[in-house]
Chains A and B, each alone.
Chain A
Amino acid sequence: MLEVKNIESKYGNIQAISDVSLSVKRGELVAVVGANGAGKSTTMKTIMGLLKASAGQIIFDNKNITNLPAHDIVNLGIALVPEGRMVFPYFTVLENLNAGAYCIKNKAEVSEGLNYVFSLFPLLKDRLHQKAGTLSGGEQQMLAIGRALMSKPKLLLMDEPSLGLAPVIVDKIIELIQEIHQQGMTILLVEQDVYSALEIADRGYVMENGRIVLEGTANELMESALVQKKYLGIA
């Protein structure tokens, strides 16, 4: 479904990622893990069209989407749950969700989407008219995920959904991601919490210094010496 081929991306003159290739098949949950500054988020931003790829190709559903403007990519069916959640703080929960359905013209589909989001996050329904900025971090993350789902994406990109959340909440969010995946959503998940991410993923990639250094099924990665030593702290 998504095929990223040898992409490169730069911030000014500084090369942030080079020769990154990865693929996501329909129905898969693929994790990209790695330390801070490894280039995971940069990869996401490049796929999403927020950063220009200076080389390489990104193919989505047999369509070349390299360097298309972000809003066009959203309309093609990729949604991003951005790093740091980025909910609209002065919008109510409902307004946030409606904003997520911006590219959907059909009103029936919007209310269908709302019902789906409420079935996943019943809590949001109770806070419908509360300003998003007054929600807790975990609730905001749920809102950000719900908002992304409102555009009925074929592929959901998630950038660090565990960032800045208490461990208990992280577990909950991870569980929810698994649930969304089990209901048929294709997901590309970027995470620093390597263990949590690999636990629910089908396959994974490990990034270091802007390159992919290891790839395989989640189990293979879990058992690899590199991941065990560097990220899981198992000697």
Chain B
Amino acid sequence: MKDKKWPLPVFIVLLLFLLPSITGHNYYVLHVANICCIFTILAMGLNMLQGYTGLVSIGQAGFYAIGAYISGLLAVKLGLPFLICLFIGALVASIVGLALGLTTVRLYGGYLALVTVGFGRIIQLIAINWVEMTGGGEGLLGIPPAKLGTVVLTPEQFYYFALLVTVILFVITVNLVNSKIGRALIAIREQRIAANMMGIDVAGYRLIAFVIAACYSGIAGGLYAFFAGSLFPDYFSLPQSIIILIMVILGGAGTLYGPIIGAVLVTIGFEFLRPLQSYQMIIYGFGVVLVVMFMPYGIVGVARHLLQIMQGDRKGSETGVARG
């Protein structure tokens, strides 16, 4: 967890900023790269909850939808500037996250997961049925393109912006995880009662994790709204929540890089597996079963394990194994 090797991440980020030039400003590549950024943010948010605190949420699409619809509506109905829409979308998602966290403060495991499924569905139903506001199934159309100041962002510039937001959120995540908050969350995941006995306010820190996850999802939603230009309720569905969960688990829950790797792999995977249409989910479902059974820390866990073997670090090799 103590990755102090900054040069490599910095190099990768630089490479990502150069991506449009390298790929000859290909519009399709840009599209996929934007989606990767958005899902990375979603997965990083859920990772705080699922990976670091050990709380399962299958309702992140709900927060995603809140961020998207609030941002989109503010832009369409009130004509507010892009950044303000994004900010308020994230804020509202955070407040709803706080409310959901407060009402579920005593729930763990499967019970909590069920409530979050219900929550995601409620938000989706609101988006479908509140037709005057959200446009219902017809969709919320005509979200203006993102503008910074007076400059209308081109798809390429929008990608730079989304990438910048992703990098900022990643840096925030790294700092959070290595702070007192991160240590408290991990302690709660490992032994809730013992953590409480150490003087950790379990209920309070749970709320923090909930709000962080909701806030990240809200930001992702806002980005999506301006990226897509229109919003449809069926996009913010239960499968969408499960996909976010799959990204976290596949990449490595409770690791810093896991959600990024998971989000990018699954997003690109969807592109390659497009001919299979909805059969894709079978592959992902199967993949998750394998990951959970054989690589509990996901791809990052396996990579770490291999690295240790290569370095001949026998002692450390036991650390890659299961987590509670």
Residues of A within 8 A of B (CB): 48, 50, 69-71, 74-75, 79-80, 82, 86-91, 98-100, 102-103, 131, 134, 147-148, 151
Ranked nearest first, the 7 interchain pairs of A and B with the lowest CB-CB distance are A103-B199, A74-B199, A86-B194, A88-B190, A71-B201, A102-B198, A70-B196
- Known pairs A99-B183, A131-B319; A87 contacts B197 (CB<8 A): no
**A151–B199 contact, CB under 8 A?**
yes
Return chain B residues, CB-CB under 8 Å to A80: 197
Return chain B residues, CB-CB under 8 Å to A90: 190, 323-324
Q: How far is the CA of A71 from the CA of B198 in the complex (A)?
A: 7
Q: How far is the CA of A151 from the CA of B199 in the complex (A)?
A: 9
Q: How large is the interface on B (under 10, 10 to 19, 20 to 34, 35 or more residues)?
A: 20 to 34
- Most chain B beta-carbon contacts within 10 A, residue among A74, A75, A87: A74
Q: How far is the CA of A134 from the CA of B195 in the complex (A)?
A: 19
Return chain A residues, CB-CB under 8 Å to B183: 98-99, 102
Residues of B within 8 A of A (CB): 180, 183-184, 187, 190-191, 193-203, 318-319, 323-324
**A89–B184 contact, CB under 8 A?**
no
**A102–B200 contact, CB under 8 A?**
yes
**A71–B199 contact, CB under 8 A?**
yes
**A99–B319 contact, CB under 8 A?**
no
Q: How far is the CA of A107 from the CA of B198 in the complex (A)?
A: 16
Return chain A residues, CB-CB under 8 Å to B194: 82, 86-88, 99
Return chain B residues, CB-CB under 8 Å to A103: 198-199
Q: How far is the CA of A173 from the CA of B183 in the complex (A)?
A: 29
Q: How far is the CA of A87 from the CA of B190 in the complex (A)?
A: 9
**B193–A50 contact, CB under 8 A?**
yes
Further 11 A-B residue pairs, CB within 8 A, beyond A69-B203, A99-B187: A48-B197, A50-B193, A70-B196, A75-B199, A80-B197, A86-B194, A86-B197, A88-B187, A90-B323, A98-B183, A131-B319
